[in-house]
Amino acid sequence: MHEFHLLSKLVQLVEARLEEECPGARPVTVRLQVRRGSHLHGHDAASLQASFALAAQGTSVAQARLEVLPVATLARCQACGAQHEWDGSTLTCPTCETPTLEIPDVPEVAVVGIEVAE
């Protein structure tokens, strides 16, 4: 249940950010970008929402809904220079079939929005 640990960290991050920027605000929606190929991308939205709800119990985030937005990652082949959407399954270039895909150093998961009740 590795996703529970990650979503617990997410809840802590959201609480800290809200306390810093909007003390007393209650989040309605937390938007999370999840890179294709990341650990969380393999989970369906319902199981992530359930883990998020469990992690948020007893916190100011308890009533918020988790919205997961999958995003593509472009990888570049070091051998032939071709760019491809990377799904995380292989480092082999689909064009030249060499194992030389270069994956950009981008976060697997990023909070891209927190909607709060007014």
Average pLDDT along the chain, 118 residues, taken 10 residues at a time = 83 93 90 75 79 94 91 90 86 92 80 86
Domain limits, the chain: 2-72+107-116
The correct CATH number of 2-72+107-116 out of 3.30.565.10, 3.30.2320.50, 3.40.50.300, 3.20.20.70 is 3.30.2320.50
Which pLDDT belongs to residue 9?
Answer: 92
Q: How far apart are CA 49 and CA 52, in angstroms?
A: 5
Helix (H, G, I), strand (E, B) or coil at 61: coil
Q: 88-99, pLDDT tens digit by residue? A: 778 899 999 999
User: Whole-model pTM above 0.75?
Assistant: no
Residue 79: how many other CB atoms lie within 10 Å: 15
Which pLDDT belongs to residue 20?
Answer: 92
The number of residues in the chain equals: 118
